[in-house]
Amino acid sequence: MLPLSRASLCTLVLGTLVLAGVGLVHAANLAAAPKPVAEEKVTGTSTTAKKQRKSIDDPGKLPPSAEEMRQALLFATRTGNIEDLREALDWNEIKPETAAPAGEDPIAFWKRSSGDGHGREVLAALAELLSLHPAELPLGRDLENNIVYVWPYLAEAALDQLTPAQEVELLRLVGPAEAKQMREKKKWTWWRLTIGADGVWHSFKKGE
C-alpha cells in the first residue's frame, strides 16, 4: 500500500470529522424527539383506573359452598324455568324464608305472585340481585363459616348516603320512584337474598 500524501491525509481526517458530526446531530435529534405515547394514554384508561375497574367487576370469590348455591340459582335464571330452583331448595334441610304462606310451596307461590304467571319476573329479580356485590354480615351460627352474604349489598347500605355509582345500581334495580322512597325512609324494600358461607340458602323475599 502506497503512503498517503499530506493532502490525502487531510482529506481523510476531514471526512471522518464530518461523519462524526452527523452522527452526533442524529443522536441529539433522537433524544429530543417526542417519546411514543403510552398505551394507557392512547386508550384513555390509566393503569389506576383499570385496577379500580377490575376491583369493581370482581368482588372476590365466595366460599366454595356459597358459590355452588349461587351458581344453582343463576342456572335457573338463565333457563327461564323457575322449577329449576327446586334443586337449590332441596339442598336445604330447612326451606329458605320466603313470603309464601305457611305450608305453601315457594315455587308455586312465586309463580302465583309473578306478573307473568310463570315466575319469570321473580327470576329476573334474582338475576339482577346476583349481578351485584353481596354485603358480608357475621351472622352465621357456624363459628368457622359465620359469614352470611346478602344480595344486593345495597340492602345493607345507608341509602341516603350512596355514591353516584351506587345510585346508578339502585336505579337499575328499582327505578326512580321506589329509589326515592327508599332513600326517604332509609329502608330497603325490594328483593333481598341471603346465603351463608356454608352454602345454606337462608332467605329470598322482598323487604317490608
pLDDT at 36 exceeding the cut of 60: no
The whole-angstrom separation of Cα 116 and Cα 122 is 9
> What pLDDT score was predicted for residue 51?
36
3-class secondary-structure state, position 187? coil
Q: Which grid cell sits at 8? A: 490525502
10-29 pLDDT, tens digit each: 444 444 444 444 444 444 44
Q: What pLDDT does 83 receive? A: 97
- What are the Cα distances from residue 52, in Å, to 44, 148, 171, 174? 14, 25, 22, 26
- Distance between CA atoms of 86 and 90, rounded to whole angstroms? 6
Nearest CA among 89, 87, 85, 86 for reference residue 77: 85
Q: Residue ranges of the domains in the chain?
A: 63-206
Average pLDDT rounded to a whole number, residues 178-191: 94
Averaged pLDDT for residues 115-142: 91
Q: Which 3 state secondary structure label does DSSP give 206?
A: strand
Give the tens place of pLDDT for each residue, 85-101.
999 999 998 899 999 99
C-alpha grid cell, residue 125 = 329479580
pLDDT value at residue 143: 61
At 8, the amino acid letter reads S
- The span from the CA of 45 to the CA of 38, in Å, is 11
Task: State yes or no: cis peptide before 152, omega within 30 of 0.
Answer: yes
- Three-class SS of residue 149? strand
Residue 34 has pLDDT above 60, yes or no: no
Q: Which amino acid is at 108?
A: A
Listed in sequence order, the DSSP H helices in the chain are 6-32, 39-43, 47-57, 64-79, 86-91, 106-113, 120-130, 164-185
Q: What is the pLDDT of residues 44-80, one digit of tens each?
A: 334 433 333 333 344 558 999 999 999 999 999 999 9
Report the first-to-last Cα separation within the chain, whole angstroms.
Answer: 106
Q: Is the pTM of this model over 0.85?
A: no
Percentage of residues in the chain having pLDDT higher than 90: 63
